[in-house]
Structure 1
Amino acid sequence: MISNQILQNTIEGLKSITRIDLGVMDTDGKTLATTFPEPGDYENAVLSFVESPAESQVIQGYQFFKIYDEHQLEYILIANGGSEDVYMVGKIAAFQIQNLLVAYKERFDKDNFIKNLLLDNLLLVDIYNRAKKLHIDTEVKRDIFIVETSRERDVSALDSLRSVLGGKGKDFITAVDEKNIIVVKELGPGDGYPEMDKTAHEILDLLKAEGEENIRIAYGTIVNDIKEVSKSYKEAKLALDVGKIFFDEKEVIAYSALGIGRLIYQLPIPLCKMFIREIFEGKSPDEFDEETLTTINKFFENSLNVSETSRQLYIHRNTLVYRLDKLQKSTGLDLRVFEDAITFKIALMVVKYMKYMETLEY
């Protein structure tokens, strides 16, 4: 259904061109939009016209027109004056609103289809049949972006994205819950993940310019058929969740960049606790002091390179070796040995995952 604001903008635009006042009423005579200086009492005249078989009629110096949504009478348009010129303007206005009804209904049908497609609510045969009826290409490359803002039901963010991306090709911008905005992006033949990352940052910059805060954007893998859109959506959703745990410093995260974090996220908490207990004998790797944790993280960042790590920490190589030896004595793991380093890195991620899941319980 067209909003009253859209109706108001439409008739105000027509008045600015024609200098003729217009009004749009519902079938009960209630005013939805008007350019008349003073509100008029048209209820009885509208009700009488609704019952009349005429499609247009002059009543008390005003032109009345019927506007249909398919075969259902939806609006009554009033034009100020009974002349032929006013009649022509009224017909043009009625035609314009009629086309708006068709356009908005088509957009609603497409929006409804895309939502059900994302949520995997459609049978395979229904996907292709409905896509054909809605003139949506089924065999093009697409990717799914999920945009999370700090506000629920963020209509302004949704409208901003629609205004910028909605007119580009055949992209779709919708929402399936109160928290996230979903962008179904159609890709060109040569587009790949660099273009996806660029688009994500463009969306990020746009929303920041609009005053949005705490924005997180995630996107799934590129799919080549419309039936796989729900797969990309699930991947983007997983990327958004996993990114909050292991990549909390990143505002944009791709499913393909989740690495081992994607596997850890799917582990049951009891199994995680058992793993930590067996590896560290009841201790937790995040109980180390700040100096030790900094050393460990920098050592991992530099791919277990002792010389580079000591240089970046501004400490002597022997000091770093001493810290690693000390860590080996307390944990039984030598971070200079690849297998032990992997075990320790996974343990740190598992602890981070468990702590995040604990915050969701409160």
Structure 2
Amino acid sequence: MSGRIFQNIVLQFKETTDTVIGVIDSEGTVIACTDLPEIGQRWPHLVQPINEAEGACTALEGKTFKALEGWGGQFDFAAFTRGEDALSSTVCSMATVALNTAKSYYEEKHDKTSFVKSILSDNILLSDIYVRAKELHVEAELNRGVFVVRRTDEKADAIPVETVQNIFPDRQTSFVLSMGEDDVVLVQQLGDNVEMSDLEKTAAQIEETLRVNGESTVVVGIGTVATHLRDLAKSYKEAQMAIEVGKVFDTEKYIISYENLGIGRLIYQLPTTLCEMFLQEVFKKNPIDALDKETLFTINKFFENNLILSETARKLFVHRNTLVYRLEKIKKLTGLDLREFDDAIIFKVALMVKKYLASRDNRMI
């Protein structure tokens, strides 16, 4: 926040009181003062005792301080007056009221959440990111996770931002905002040695909190860790893609990470014409639609059990020879022997491609 805003306020007090009034930032630097030579002075050793006062007036080194309204455990700005008597405390409290009003008005137009939203939406120039980050006291180079939260039922009401904000109340380290009609986005500050498992725990916390009657009501997409503010937009798009790809290939999952999408991510980005050509090339004898539901169920079970005949037969409650007969039948229909590793890979990819094309058709209806 610009010190000019506060300077205009404190100078107005100069006409009504002889008491020196000023403002310091979170690092203890004087950014506004009726006594102009004091601007720029640094009192970092006073930051901790002001924080410990928890918003009350506190007398320190011949001055009275009172933190302005803010979020988290550390103040952004604090007003001060010269003197430690009752009059100094009264003037400091009155100045705080006026300064809080100016701060609130400024933040409505230039708050941190709006700044982060502009980055996520790619509505800000790279050069402006650095300027605004410095002005708003947002550290540029920090590890941050981006989580997109979306209803599993597209017809359900949108998720209230406040619901997710209540899970992560510290607005110094967490930004929760609405993006579009369906998504709530959490941008969470992370530690230095963060792992994907840490992000998945945060996503699980969101998903479990929003469950109703023990059933999942949301899906949470996780982007890759953004190490700089400029990376947030990229991570946001990844989290969105994680949800979209998960809707096609991992319908039973409610926490989906972009890093773990595997081959599904590649297929999802292929042109439909190329996918159709691939299916025609693989299934020259008969189209994949020629396989009935029971045959497809057998194939999926065979894949789930790592192409092990005995284990698959046990899970299907059939004799091993019965399974061999079914696999021979599939070979005659498709020309692919699922007992051969290469053929199994081709068939698995073909099933995923078919699933992807089916999802595209449903979206066009």
TM-score by length of 2: 0.68
How many Å separate the matches in 2 of 1:139 and 1:160? 28
Aligned pairs, number? 274
Structure 2 residue 135 is matched with structure 1 residue 99: no
Does the 8 Å contact 1:153/1:178 carry over to 2? no
Corresponding residue for residue 241 of structure 2: 238
Q: Which residue in the other structure is 1:343 paired with?
A: 346
Report the counterpart of residue 130 of structure 1 in structure 2: 132
Quote the residue 1:71 is aligned against.
none
Amino acid at match of 1:180: D
CA deviation after TM superposition for structure 1 residue 234, in Å: 1.2
Q: How far has the Cα of 1:326 moved from its partner?
A: 0.9
Q: Deviations over 1:95-148 (max 9, x none)?
A: 558626624743652122111111223222211111111111111111110001
Match of 1:184 in 2: 187
> 2:200 corresponds to which letter in structure 1?
D
Give the aligned partner of residue 76 of structure 1. Answer: none
Amino acid in structure 2 at the alignment position of 1:176: M
Partner of 1:353: 356
Asked if 2 retains the 8 angstrom alpha-carbon contact of 1:310 and 1:320, the reply is: yes
Letter in 1 for 2:247: K
CA–CA separation in structure 1 for the residues paired with 2:94 and 2:197: 46
- Gap regions ≥5 residues in structure 1: 1-87
CA contact (8 A) 1:286 1:348 kept: no
1:264-283 alignment runs, 5 A limit: 264-281=267-284, 283=286
Q: Label 1:101 to 1:148 Cα distance change in 2 as closer, same or farther (>3 A).
A: farther
CA contact (8 A) 1:219 1:235 kept: yes
Asked if 1:197 corresponds to 2:200, the answer is: yes
| 1:269-348 to 2 correspondences below 5 Å | 269-281=272-284, 283-348=286-351
- Describe the shift of the 1:212–1:294 C-alpha distance in structure 2 as closer, same or farther (beyond 3 A): closer
1:162 aligns with 2:165: yes
- Provide the rounded CA distance (Å) in 2 between the counterparts of 1:102 and 1:153: 37
Q: Would the alpha carbon gap of residues 244 and 93 (structure 1) be closer, same or farther in structure 2, given more than 3 Å must change?
A: farther
Task: Answer yes or no: is the 8 Å Cα contact 1:223–1:229 preserved in 2.
Answer: yes
Contact residue 159 and residue 184 of structure 2 kept, 8 A: no
Q: Give the direction of change, closer, same or farther, for the CA distance of 1:181–1:283 in structure 2 (3 Å limit).
A: farther
- Alignment-derived partner of residue 219 in structure 1: 222
Change (3 A) 1:133 1:154: farther
Structure 2 counterpart of 1:129, one-letter code: V
Structure 2: how far apart are the matches of 1:120 and 1:255? 20
Specify which of 101, 118, 121 is matched with residue 119 of structure 1: 121
Give how far 1:283 is off.
4.2
Give the Å deviation of 1:284: 3.7
Moved more, 226-235 or 164-173: 164-173
Contact 2:158 2:183 in 1 (8 A): no
Q: Structure 2 unaligned runs (5+)? A: 1-88
Q: 2:150 aligns with which of 148, 154, 168?
A: 148
Q: Is the 8 Å Cα contact of residues 157 and 207 (structure 1) preserved in structure 2? A: no
The answer as to whether partners of 2:147 and 2:223 remain within 8 angstroms in 1 is yes
Instruction: Tell me, in whole angstroms, the C-alpha distance in 2 between the residues paired with 1:266 and 1:282.
Output: 27
Is the CA contact (8 Å cut-off) linking 1:175 and 1:181 kept in structure 2?
A: yes
More displaced, 251-260 or 288-297? 288-297
Post-superposition offset of 1:278 = 2.0
Paired residue secondary structure (1:175): strand
Quote the Cα distance in structure 2 between the aligned partners of 1:213 and 1:183: 18
CA contact (8 A) 2:216 2:254 kept: no
Q: Read off the aligned partner of 1:318 and give its amino acid letter.
A: N
Q: Flag the 1:249–1:104 CA change in 2: closer, same or farther, 3 A.
A: farther
SS in 1 for 2:210: helix
Aligned to 2:39: none
How far the C-alpha of 1:290 sits from its partner, in A, is 2.5
Give distance in 2, aligned partners of 1:212 and 1:121: 37
Picking from 178, 182, 194, the partner of 1:175 is 178
Report the equivalent of 1:14.
none
Contact conserved, 2:141 with 2:228, CA < 8 A, in 1?
yes
Conserved in 2, the CA contact under 8 Å of 1:116 and 1:122?
yes
**Structure 1 residue 289: deviation in Å?**
2.1
SS of structure 1 residue aligned to 2:113: helix
State the alpha-carbon separation in 1 of the partners of residues 350 and 130 from structure 2: 46
Distance 2:219 2:148 in 1: 8
Percentage of identical aligned residues:
44
3-state SS, counterpart of residue 178 of structure 1: coil
Q: Structure 1 residue 287: deviation in Å?
A: 4.2
TM-score (norm 1): 0.69
Q: In the alignment, what sits opposite 1:18? A: none
What is the aligned-residue RMSD (CA, Å)? 2.8
In 2, Cα distance between equivalents of 1:294 and 1:138: 51
1:255 aligns with 2:265: no
Whether the 8 Å CA contact 1:166–1:173 is kept in 2: the answer is no
Q: Distance in 2 between matches of 1:156 and 1:193?
A: 25
